Structure formats: structure tokens, C-alpha cells
Structure 1
């Protein structure tokens, strides 16, 4: 594993806030396609259902999800599906061929998921007021939240998969990996220089915080190495610094990161990491003309 990690340039972004004060969870074109099931959609549905790796994925590829995928194909974001990259409790990730190369497609389950864990991140967040326990509304809002969080993290100089498109419960984003395999997680590689690696992770945590975000589930399992860079995955559960449990989530992130690098032989203290992440950004140095006016 390379010892050199380049950090992204930070873009000028919007001030810290809550992008989705109100999230539109009304029916989309994908829902209408799923209900209408026109001839082309039925052929698309049959093709996906008959694909070998999707035969046992009925809980993932319900008709409305197929409608979302069909809409993404019609809009030119996806040309053909590849194989699964990962499976999780709430979502599966697949490779897909796009006009400009390979992409990753994250499909959040609706019918078969247990959203009790999600409530910890949703309750108390003003972006999710009024959604209640309706699974469809929760998933649509959650998917939109991940798309927004990825955009905000990227603008803040954090290396994450670039978000490309979103439709209902389906998120299309940059594929991190090569022809033969996905990018490897931090726990799957030999770390030649743990100190350098830790410093990059710490800087990314600080940049997330200064962008108004806290990952909420950060560990060696959602930090990957791609093209000599460390990349942060899975920002669906990330909350803003205004969330009532944000401090608790940040402390847990710090503990997970400190524990991992402690196993790599570093002396890392949870509290020191927390202090470094939350340290206020220094005031810019005044220009000579500003000095003259004081």
C-alpha cells in the first residue's frame, strides 16, 4: 500500500446547514413507470429478473425499484448491469456500465429492510420531520440524504465516491475499484505507514466536521484505498452537526478510528482525536492593507 496520500482541494461551498429541510417523497416518474408497466418496461423487468445474479434478489428488485432503474437507463446513466460489489442490511451495491465507463449502483431495500437502526440517525433531524415510519418515505429521504452528503463531503475536500444521479431508492455514483475487484477496505490491506494513514483519516474527519457533517459509522470497514488515495464510503447515515446526537456519533467515530490505529501500533487517544477534529478553523491572516486600517 502506498505511503503517499494526496488530499483533495477544498471547494468554496455553502455555509453549514440542512439542505433538505423538506424532502419531497411524492410519487416520481419511477413510481409511475412501475404502475404503468409499459411494454418496454416489462421487457426490462424480465431481463433483470432473468439475470443470474439477480434471481434471488426479489427483496431488492421490487417493481418500483425496477422502475427507478429503468428511468436511469432511459436517462442515459446506466447501460448494463455487472455483478454485486457488496450486500448490507439496508442496501446492495452493484457495478454497472455507463456511457463513460463503470459506475456503482446502490439500491436501498424497501420491503425487506429493518429500519430500527436507521431511526437513531433520523429521529431529531429536522430534514426528516413528518416522515414517520413509512418505509418508502424513509428510504427515499435516506437515499437523497446520502446523495447530498456525498456532494457536501466532496466540496469540503473529502475523497468520497462522486455522486452521479439519484432516482427514488437508487443512487448512481463513481465506482471505486479496478477490472477485477472493488477497492479494498483498510482492514484488508497491509498499511506500510500507519502514521501517515492516520493523519489522512484525521484530516478527513476534520474536513467533514468543518463541512457540517459527522460520519456516524466511521471505521476501517468504510475506508478504502483506491488509486493511491484513501476514500470514505457510506455517508447515508451521516448527520449534520445540528443533530441532537451528533456529539455521541462523533465520539464513537473517534473511538473506532483510534482503536483501529492502536492495533497498527500507534498511540492514539480518543480524546486527542476528538479535539483535533473539532478544533476551530484558524482565522485567516490579515492582508497588509487590512493591517493598515486597524
Structure 2
């Protein structure tokens, strides 16, 4: 692992804070396409169903999911599908070819099998999703749009995360960090050659997230990856705003996890020190 961890420069004119974007979780164009099936859509659906990389996981797809993929292809966000990168209880991730021959990741969330109650605990208290209710479909679709919005906000704050490209219903398209045959490695999987520098980058990214009003909520050596000398933070679906009722507890847990990992690498730090650096005197999240 190199000592160049790619700390991003920030644009002072793009600073963001406590304001929150409106996030629409009503039916999307994909739902309309699924309801108003036409010949081209049915041909596309048949092609996807017959594709070798999708045959194992047919349970992920319903008509509206095919509609979402159809819309993303029509909008030139996806040119061709590749093989699966990962499968999980929340989502399947596939490699794909995007616009201008770029490699992208297509994350397809499961409507029926996603950890619905766990998702709700992170959504409740988020000012972007007030009055969401307990409908499973609405919760999962809100979660997908939440991850897209969190990635956008993190990028604007100067945090190296996968660049979000497009979202449609339960499908998220984002930058693919590392190809399948040359995948990026989680921090837990590599030998950290310069842990002090890596720690400085991580704590600065945590501070920037907090300044932008976000807390990762599940940060550890398993949600940070290294690729081409860059340290990238991933899995921002569960990230909450600083107004979330559990924001303080989640930030404390992130600080303890990160400090514990780097302490094992020989860095002189603690959860208390890291929390103080990130939140300072912010009364909204207290130690």
C-alpha cells in the first residue's frame, strides 16, 4: 500500500452545510414503463432474463426493476452488462459498461428480501424522509435514493467516495472503483505501509462528512478500500444526518472502530481524540 492516499482538495465555493435536498420517493418512470409495457421493453426484459450473469438471481428482478434498467439503458447510463461483483441480502452489484466506455457498478436492491426494519432505523429521524411510513417498497426505494444523495453530498464535501451516476427506482449506478479482475482491497485486507498518513486521511474525511451534515454510521476497516493509491470510503446507504436521534451514538461507534483499527497499526489515537477532532463543540452530537 503506497503512502499516497489521495486526500481530495475541497472547493470553498461548493461548501455545504445544514440545508437538505428534497428527495422524491414517489413512483418513477420505471414504474410507468412497467405498467405500460411495449414491444421494445418486452424484448429487453427477455434479453436480460436470458443473460447468463442474471440467471442465478432472478429473485432480484420484478417488472418495475426491469423497467428501471430499461430506463437507465435508454438514458445512456448503461451500455452493456457484465458479470456480478457481489451478492447480498440487501442488493446485488453488477459490473457494466457506462457512457464513454467507462466501467460502472450497477447496484440492484431487493424489494422483498432487503433488511427492511434495519433500513427503517436509519431512515427515521432523517429530515429528508419525514412521514415515510412503514411500506416496505417505499422504505427500500427511499434507501436507494438516500445512498445516491449521500454519495453526492460526500463528493461535494471533498470526500473520496464512488461517484454517483444515476438512480432509478431500486437501481443505483455509480463509479466502479477497481475492476472485477483487479478489485480494490478493503483496508482490512492490506498491509498499511504508512498508517499515520492513512489515519490522517480517514479522520479528515470523517470531519468533512460531519461538516457536510453526515455521519457514516458504519465506518470501519471493512468500509474503506484502497485502489491505485487512493483511500475510498464506501457503503454510504446507512449514513445519517447530524439531526438523526442516534447521530451521536453512531459517530461514537465510527470513532471507536476507526481508532481501534489504527491503534493496532501503531497510531497513537483513541475514540475520544477522534471524536473531538471531528465534532469539536458541536452540541448536536455529544460524546
Q: Contact between 1:223 and 1:230, CA under 8 Å: does it hold in 2?
A: yes
Runs of 5+ unmatched residues, structure 2: 283-287
State how 1:1-294 maps to structure 2 within 5 Å.
1-11=1-11, 12-20=14-22, 23-100=23-100, 101-178=102-179, 180-279=181-280
CA displacement at 1:174 relative to structure 2 = 0.8
TM-score relative to the length of structure 2: 0.92
Q: How many residues align?
A: 279
Residues in 1 aligned to 2:17 and 2:257: alpha-carbon distance in whole angstroms: 28
Q: Contact between 1:85 and 1:182, CA under 8 Å: does it hold in 2?
A: no
Alpha-carbon displacement from aligned partner over 1:198-247 (angstroms, at most 9, x marks no partner): 11111110111111110001111110112211001111111111111100
CA displacement at 1:89 relative to structure 2 = 2.5
Q: Contact between 1:65 and 1:170, CA under 8 Å: does it hold in 2?
A: yes
Residues in 2 aligned to 1:51 and 1:263: alpha-carbon distance in whole angstroms: 45
User: Partner of 2:285 in structure 1?
Assistant: none
TM-score relative to the length of structure 1: 0.90
Residues in 2 aligned to 1:98 and 1:182: alpha-carbon distance in whole angstroms: 18
Query: What root-mean-square deviation, in Å, do the aligned CA atoms of Structure 1 and Structure 2 show?
Result: 1.6
CA displacement at 1:179 relative to structure 2 = 6.0
Residues in 2 aligned to 1:108 and 1:220: alpha-carbon distance in whole angstroms: 24
Residues in 1 aligned to 2:27 and 2:180: alpha-carbon distance in whole angstroms: 37
Q: Contact between 1:18 and 1:240, CA under 8 Å: does it hold in 2?
A: no
Runs of 5+ unmatched residues, structure 1: 282-294
Farther off after superposition, 106-115 or 228-237: 106-115
Farther off after superposition, 114-123 or 72-81: 114-123
CA displacement at 1:133 relative to structure 2 = 1.3
CA displacement at 1:96 relative to structure 2 = 0.5
Q: Contact between 1:59 and 1:112, CA under 8 Å: does it hold in 2?
A: no
Residues in 1 aligned to 2:108 and 2:218: alpha-carbon distance in whole angstroms: 19
Residues in 2 aligned to 1:131 and 1:14: alpha-carbon distance in whole angstroms: 25
Q: Contact between 1:59 and 1:111, CA under 8 Å: does it hold in 2?
A: no
Compared with structure 1, are the counterparts of its residues 267 and 89 closer, same or farther at alpha carbon in structure 2 (3 Å cutoff)? farther
Residues in 2 aligned to 1:50 and 1:135: alpha-carbon distance in whole angstroms: 28
Higher-Rg structure is 1
Residues in 2 aligned to 1:240 and 1:194: alpha-carbon distance in whole angstroms: 29
Alpha-carbon displacement from aligned partner over 1:128-156 (angstroms, at most 9, x marks no partner): 22221112211221111111111111111
Q: Contact between 1:224 and 1:231, CA under 8 Å: does it hold in 2?
A: yes
CA displacement at 1:84 relative to structure 2 = 1.5
SS of 1:58's equivalent?
Answer: helix
SS of 2:220's equivalent?
Answer: coil
Farther off after superposition, 85-94 or 237-246: 85-94
Structure 1 residue runs of 4+, over 3 Å off?
none
Residues in 2 aligned to 1:256 and 1:218: alpha-carbon distance in whole angstroms: 7
